[in-house]
Protein backbone atom coordinates (compact mmCIF):
# COMPACT_ATOMS: atom_id res chain seq x y z
CA UNK A 1 0.00 0.00 0.00
CA UNK A 2 1.16 3.54 -0.63
CA UNK A 3 2.21 5.98 2.05
CA UNK A 4 -1.05 7.90 1.55
CA UNK A 5 -2.91 5.06 3.25
CA UNK A 6 -0.48 4.56 6.09
CA UNK A 7 -0.21 6.36 9.42
CA UNK A 8 2.86 8.37 10.29
CA UNK A 9 5.99 6.22 10.00
CA UNK A 10 8.08 6.32 13.20
CA UNK A 11 11.85 6.66 12.84
CA UNK A 12 11.82 6.65 9.03
CA UNK A 13 14.93 5.84 7.02
CA UNK A 14 15.48 8.29 4.15
CA UNK A 15 18.05 7.58 1.45
CA UNK A 16 19.28 10.46 -0.70
CA UNK A 17 20.96 8.98 -3.76
CA UNK A 18 22.83 12.10 -4.89
CA UNK A 19 24.33 15.27 -3.52
CA UNK A 20 21.65 17.92 -2.89
CA UNK A 21 21.74 21.38 -1.26
CA UNK A 22 21.78 21.55 2.53
CA UNK A 23 18.31 23.16 2.62
CA UNK A 24 16.77 19.86 1.51
CA UNK A 25 18.88 17.74 3.85
CA UNK A 26 18.10 20.00 6.80
CA UNK A 27 14.37 19.61 6.21
CA UNK A 28 14.67 15.81 5.98
CA UNK A 29 16.71 15.73 9.19
CA UNK A 30 14.05 17.79 10.96
CA UNK A 31 11.57 14.89 10.69
CA UNK A 32 11.15 13.39 14.16
CA UNK A 33 13.30 10.31 14.57
CA UNK A 34 14.50 10.33 10.97
CA UNK A 35 17.64 8.52 9.87
CA UNK A 36 18.91 10.36 6.80
CA UNK A 37 21.68 8.83 4.70
CA UNK A 38 22.95 10.91 1.78
CA UNK A 39 25.47 10.26 -0.96
CA UNK A 40 27.71 13.32 -0.75
CA UNK A 41 29.66 13.00 -4.00
CA UNK A 42 28.80 14.60 -7.36
CA UNK A 43 29.73 11.32 -9.05
CA UNK A 44 26.90 8.83 -9.62
CA UNK A 45 26.36 6.57 -6.60
CA UNK A 46 27.65 3.00 -7.11
CA UNK A 47 24.79 0.52 -7.45
CA UNK A 48 25.96 -1.68 -4.59
CA UNK A 49 26.15 1.30 -2.21
CA UNK A 50 22.75 2.55 -3.35
CA UNK A 51 21.11 -0.84 -2.89
CA UNK A 52 22.61 -1.27 0.57
CA UNK A 53 21.13 2.06 1.65
CA UNK A 54 17.77 1.35 0.01
CA UNK A 55 17.31 -1.98 1.78
CA UNK A 56 15.58 -0.43 4.80
CA UNK A 57 14.58 2.92 3.28
CA UNK A 58 11.06 4.29 3.69
CA UNK A 59 11.79 7.19 1.31
CA UNK A 60 14.24 7.86 -1.50
CA UNK A 61 15.24 11.28 -2.82
CA UNK A 62 16.55 10.85 -6.36
CA UNK A 63 18.22 12.84 -9.11
CA UNK A 64 17.92 12.67 -12.89
CA UNK A 65 21.03 10.50 -12.99
CA UNK A 66 19.14 7.74 -11.11
CA UNK A 67 17.23 5.13 -13.06
CA UNK A 68 14.31 4.14 -10.84
CA UNK A 69 13.14 0.84 -12.30
CA UNK A 70 12.27 -2.66 -11.11
CA UNK A 71 15.87 -3.31 -10.02
CA UNK A 72 15.91 -0.11 -7.96
CA UNK A 73 12.54 -0.92 -6.40
CA UNK A 74 13.45 -4.55 -5.69
CA UNK A 75 16.30 -3.27 -3.53
CA UNK A 76 13.86 -1.15 -1.50
CA UNK A 77 11.02 -3.35 -0.21
CA UNK A 78 9.88 -0.79 2.40
CA UNK A 79 9.84 2.19 0.08
CA UNK A 80 6.87 4.57 0.31
CA UNK A 81 7.99 7.46 -1.90
CA UNK A 82 10.46 8.37 -4.62
CA UNK A 83 10.92 12.15 -4.50
CA UNK A 84 12.64 13.23 -7.71
CA UNK A 85 14.57 16.50 -7.50
CA UNK A 86 13.42 17.64 -10.94
CA UNK A 87 10.34 18.58 -12.90
CA UNK A 88 10.92 15.81 -15.44
CA UNK A 89 10.64 12.20 -14.32
CA UNK A 90 11.53 10.22 -17.44
CA UNK A 91 14.25 8.59 -15.31
CA UNK A 92 11.50 6.90 -13.29
CA UNK A 93 9.38 3.93 -14.30
CA UNK A 94 6.19 5.37 -12.87
CA UNK A 95 4.15 2.27 -13.71
CA UNK A 96 6.58 0.05 -11.82
CA UNK A 97 6.34 2.35 -8.81
CA UNK A 98 2.55 2.35 -8.98
CA UNK A 99 2.45 -1.44 -9.09
CA UNK A 100 4.43 -1.53 -5.86
CA UNK A 101 2.40 1.20 -4.19
CA UNK A 102 5.30 3.67 -4.25
CA UNK A 103 4.40 7.32 -4.67
CA UNK A 104 6.39 9.40 -7.18
CA UNK A 105 6.74 13.16 -6.79
CA UNK A 106 8.55 15.91 -8.67
CA UNK A 107 9.40 19.59 -8.17
CA UNK A 108 7.41 21.75 -10.63
CA UNK A 109 7.14 25.50 -10.37
CA UNK A 110 10.34 26.33 -8.54
CA UNK A 111 12.59 26.30 -11.61
CA UNK A 112 10.38 28.22 -14.03
CA UNK A 113 12.27 31.52 -13.97
CA UNK A 114 15.75 29.99 -13.99
CA UNK A 115 14.97 27.81 -17.00
CA UNK A 116 13.21 30.61 -18.87
CA UNK A 117 16.21 32.88 -18.24
CA UNK A 118 18.52 30.24 -19.69
CA UNK A 119 16.27 29.67 -22.70
CA UNK A 120 16.26 33.39 -23.44
CA UNK A 121 20.03 33.40 -23.05
CA UNK A 122 20.32 30.59 -25.57
CA UNK A 123 18.10 32.50 -27.99
CA UNK A 124 20.51 35.43 -27.77
CA UNK A 125 23.61 33.26 -27.94
CA UNK A 126 22.48 31.51 -31.10
CA UNK A 127 21.02 34.46 -32.99
CA UNK A 128 23.87 36.84 -32.10
CA UNK A 129 26.64 34.19 -32.42
CA UNK A 130 27.94 34.91 -28.92
CA UNK A 131 29.44 31.47 -28.33
CA UNK A 132 31.18 31.60 -31.67
CA UNK A 133 32.55 35.04 -30.86
CA UNK A 134 33.89 33.96 -27.49
CA UNK A 135 35.56 30.92 -29.02
CA UNK A 136 37.28 33.19 -31.54
CA UNK A 137 38.69 35.42 -28.80
CA UNK A 138 39.79 32.52 -26.58
CA UNK A 139 41.49 30.74 -29.49
CA UNK A 140 43.91 33.62 -29.89
CA UNK A 141 42.95 34.02 -33.54
CA UNK A 142 43.82 37.44 -34.93
CA UNK A 143 40.74 39.56 -35.64
CA UNK A 144 39.76 43.09 -36.52
CA UNK A 145 36.38 44.79 -36.42
CA UNK A 146 34.58 45.19 -39.72
CA UNK A 147 31.04 45.99 -40.84
CA UNK A 148 30.36 42.40 -41.83
CA UNK A 149 32.12 40.50 -39.07
CA UNK A 150 29.95 37.79 -37.44
CA UNK A 151 26.64 39.33 -38.39
CA UNK A 152 23.78 37.84 -36.42
CA UNK A 153 20.02 38.16 -36.44
CA UNK A 154 17.96 40.70 -34.47
CA UNK A 155 14.94 39.61 -32.46
CA UNK A 156 12.63 42.57 -32.93
CA UNK A 157 9.62 41.60 -35.02
CA UNK A 158 10.69 37.96 -35.19
CA UNK A 159 8.39 35.06 -34.28
CA UNK A 160 9.12 32.78 -31.33
CA UNK A 161 7.35 29.44 -31.55
CA UNK A 162 6.95 27.78 -28.15
CA UNK A 163 6.27 24.05 -28.09
CA UNK A 164 4.72 23.45 -24.67
CA UNK A 165 3.15 26.55 -23.15
CA UNK A 166 3.38 25.58 -19.50
CA UNK A 167 4.97 27.69 -16.80
CA UNK A 168 8.41 27.80 -18.43
CA UNK A 169 6.98 28.47 -21.88
CA UNK A 170 4.87 31.33 -20.53
CA UNK A 171 7.84 32.81 -18.66
CA UNK A 172 9.97 32.59 -21.80
CA UNK A 173 7.23 34.28 -23.82
CA UNK A 174 7.15 37.12 -21.29
CA UNK A 175 10.87 37.66 -21.73
CA UNK A 176 10.68 37.42 -25.51
CA UNK A 177 7.90 40.03 -25.65
CA UNK A 178 10.29 42.44 -23.93
CA UNK A 179 12.60 41.95 -26.92
CA UNK A 180 9.78 42.82 -29.32
CA UNK A 181 9.07 39.27 -30.47
CA UNK A 182 5.76 37.86 -31.68
CA UNK A 183 4.60 34.70 -29.88
CA UNK A 184 2.94 31.61 -31.29
CA UNK A 185 2.60 28.38 -29.36
CA UNK A 186 1.58 24.76 -29.73
CA UNK A 187 -0.14 23.10 -26.81
CA UNK A 188 -2.70 20.41 -26.15
CA UNK A 189 -5.11 23.15 -25.10
CA UNK A 190 -5.33 26.92 -25.09
CA UNK A 191 -3.74 28.76 -22.22
CA UNK A 192 -5.89 31.18 -20.22
CA UNK A 193 -7.36 34.01 -22.25
CA UNK A 194 -5.70 36.53 -19.91
CA UNK A 195 -2.29 35.00 -20.65
CA UNK A 196 -2.91 35.00 -24.41
CA UNK A 197 -3.98 38.63 -24.31
CA UNK A 198 -1.10 39.75 -22.11
CA UNK A 199 1.45 38.05 -24.36
CA UNK A 200 -0.47 38.65 -27.59
CA UNK A 201 0.12 34.94 -28.15
CA UNK A 202 -1.62 32.77 -30.72
CA UNK A 203 -2.13 29.02 -30.51
CA UNK A 204 -1.29 27.27 -33.78
CA UNK A 205 -0.88 23.68 -34.89
CA UNK A 206 2.56 22.13 -34.88
CA UNK A 207 3.10 22.32 -38.63
CA UNK A 208 2.22 26.01 -38.73
CA UNK A 209 4.52 26.74 -35.80
CA UNK A 210 7.44 25.07 -37.57
CA UNK A 211 6.76 26.84 -40.85
CA UNK A 212 6.31 30.36 -39.44
CA UNK A 213 8.69 30.60 -36.46
CA UNK A 214 12.08 32.26 -36.61
CA UNK A 215 13.01 30.51 -33.37
CA UNK A 216 11.46 27.24 -32.18
CA UNK A 217 11.80 26.67 -28.43
CA UNK A 218 11.09 23.25 -26.92
CA UNK A 219 9.49 23.48 -23.48
CA UNK A 220 7.30 20.37 -23.48
CA UNK A 221 7.59 17.28 -21.26
CA UNK A 222 9.34 14.21 -22.61
CA UNK A 223 7.15 11.17 -23.30
CA UNK A 224 6.69 8.52 -25.95
CA UNK A 225 4.58 11.05 -27.85
CA UNK A 226 7.37 13.65 -27.90
CA UNK A 227 10.30 11.28 -28.54
CA UNK A 228 12.08 12.66 -31.64
CA UNK A 229 9.31 15.21 -32.08
CA UNK A 230 11.99 17.21 -33.87
CA UNK A 231 13.17 14.81 -36.55
CA UNK A 232 14.37 15.27 -40.12
CA UNK A 233 10.89 16.08 -41.42
CA UNK A 234 10.22 18.62 -38.67
CA UNK A 235 13.57 20.31 -39.31
CA UNK A 236 12.85 20.41 -43.06
CA UNK A 237 9.54 22.14 -42.28
CA UNK A 238 11.33 25.01 -40.51
CA UNK A 239 12.61 28.15 -42.20
CA UNK A 240 16.17 27.92 -43.46
CA UNK A 241 16.85 31.05 -41.37
CA UNK A 242 15.34 29.59 -38.19
CA UNK A 243 16.96 28.48 -34.95
CA UNK A 244 16.07 25.58 -32.63
CA UNK A 245 16.39 25.93 -28.83
CA UNK A 246 15.98 22.93 -26.49
CA UNK A 247 15.86 23.34 -22.72
CA UNK A 248 13.33 20.51 -22.19
CA UNK A 249 14.69 16.97 -22.61
CA UNK A 250 17.32 15.72 -25.04
CA UNK A 251 15.43 12.84 -26.69
CA UNK A 252 12.78 15.23 -27.98
CA UNK A 253 15.33 16.00 -30.69
CA UNK A 254 16.81 13.46 -33.10
CA UNK A 255 20.42 14.66 -32.76
CA UNK A 256 21.66 12.83 -35.86
CA UNK A 257 18.98 14.55 -37.92
CA UNK A 258 19.83 17.88 -36.31
CA UNK A 259 23.50 17.51 -37.25
CA UNK A 260 22.54 16.87 -40.87
CA UNK A 261 20.22 19.87 -40.86
CA UNK A 262 22.88 22.17 -39.44
CA UNK A 263 25.59 20.93 -41.81
CA UNK A 264 23.38 21.28 -44.87
CA UNK A 265 21.84 24.64 -44.01
CA UNK A 266 18.33 23.26 -43.51
CA UNK A 267 18.12 25.56 -40.47
CA UNK A 268 20.44 28.37 -39.43
CA UNK A 269 21.44 27.20 -35.98
CA UNK A 270 20.56 25.56 -32.70
CA UNK A 271 21.16 25.93 -28.97
CA UNK A 272 20.95 22.91 -26.68
CA UNK A 273 20.98 22.61 -22.90
CA UNK A 274 19.99 18.92 -22.94
CA UNK A 275 21.10 15.96 -25.03
CA UNK A 276 19.66 12.74 -26.38
CA UNK A 277 22.20 10.47 -24.64
CA UNK A 278 23.28 12.82 -21.89
CA UNK A 279 26.02 13.34 -20.85
CA UNK A 280 27.29 12.10 -24.23
CA UNK A 281 26.90 14.69 -26.97
CA UNK A 282 26.63 13.68 -30.63
CA UNK A 283 30.17 14.20 -32.00
CA UNK A 284 28.78 15.94 -35.07
CA UNK A 285 27.51 18.78 -32.90
CA UNK A 286 30.89 19.46 -31.32
CA UNK A 287 32.53 20.59 -34.54
CA UNK A 288 29.80 23.00 -35.64
CA UNK A 289 29.98 26.73 -35.06
CA UNK A 290 26.26 27.26 -35.62
CA UNK A 291 25.24 25.35 -32.49
CA UNK A 292 25.48 26.46 -28.85
CA UNK A 293 26.04 23.66 -26.33
CA UNK A 294 25.71 24.00 -22.55
CA UNK A 295 25.69 21.18 -19.94
CA UNK A 296 22.09 21.00 -18.62
CA UNK A 297 22.17 24.33 -16.80
CA UNK A 298 18.45 25.13 -16.97
CA UNK A 299 17.88 25.11 -13.21
CA UNK A 300 21.48 25.81 -12.24
CA UNK A 301 21.18 28.75 -9.89
CA UNK A 302 21.96 28.54 -6.19
CA UNK A 303 18.46 29.69 -5.31
CA UNK A 304 16.64 27.33 -7.67
CA UNK A 305 18.56 24.19 -6.77
CA UNK A 306 17.96 24.90 -3.07
CA UNK A 307 14.24 25.37 -3.76
CA UNK A 308 14.13 22.10 -5.72
CA UNK A 309 15.77 20.17 -2.89
CA UNK A 310 13.38 21.73 -0.38
CA UNK A 311 10.37 20.90 -2.54
CA UNK A 312 11.45 17.25 -2.83
CA UNK A 313 12.07 17.04 0.91
CA UNK A 314 8.64 18.59 1.59
CA UNK A 315 7.03 15.82 -0.45
CA UNK A 316 8.85 13.26 1.69
CA UNK A 317 7.68 14.99 4.88
CA UNK A 318 4.06 14.80 3.78
CA UNK A 319 4.11 11.16 2.71
CA UNK A 320 5.93 9.94 5.81
CA UNK A 321 3.31 11.76 7.88
CA UNK A 322 0.55 9.91 6.03
CA UNK A 323 -0.58 12.98 4.10
CA UNK A 324 -0.90 13.80 0.41
CA UNK A 325 2.36 15.12 -1.11
CA UNK A 326 2.46 18.56 -2.67
CA UNK A 327 3.57 17.39 -6.11
CA UNK A 328 2.38 13.84 -6.80
CA UNK A 329 3.11 12.30 -10.18
CA UNK A 330 1.52 9.05 -9.01
CA UNK A 331 0.11 7.56 -5.85
How many other C-beta atoms lie within 10 A of the C-beta of residue 96? 17
Q: How far is CA 73 from the centre of its chain?
A: 24
| Catalytic member of 186, 249, 282, 305 | 249
Distance CA 52, CA 76 (A): 9
| Catalytic (active site) residue 134 | no
- Specify burial of residue 117 (Cβ count, 10 A radius: 0-12, 13-18, 19+): middle
Q: Of 149, 160, 273, 255, which Cα lies nearest the Cα of 217?
A: 160
Could you give the count of Cα atoms lying within 13 Å of 222 in the half-sphere of its Cβ? 21
| Catalytic member of 196, 208, 260, 278 | 278
| Catalytic (active site) residue 227 | no
How many other C-beta atoms lie within 10 A of the C-beta of residue 201? 24
Distance CA 79, CA 258 (A): 41
| Catalytic member of 19, 128, 228, 296 | 296
| Catalytic (active site) residue 326 | no
Are the CB atoms for 58 and 79 separated by under 8 Å?
yes
Q: Catalytic residue positions?
A: 249, 278, 296
Amino acid sequence: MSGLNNPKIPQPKITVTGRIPDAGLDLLRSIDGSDVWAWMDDAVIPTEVRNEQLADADAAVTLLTDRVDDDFLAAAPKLQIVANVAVGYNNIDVDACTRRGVIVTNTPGVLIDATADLAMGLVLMSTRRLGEGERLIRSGTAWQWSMFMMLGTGLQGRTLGIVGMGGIGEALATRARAFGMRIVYHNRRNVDTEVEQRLDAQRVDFDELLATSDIVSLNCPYSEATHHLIDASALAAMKSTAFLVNTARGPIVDEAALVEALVNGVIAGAALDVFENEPTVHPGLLSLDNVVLVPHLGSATVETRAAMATAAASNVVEVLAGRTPHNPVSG
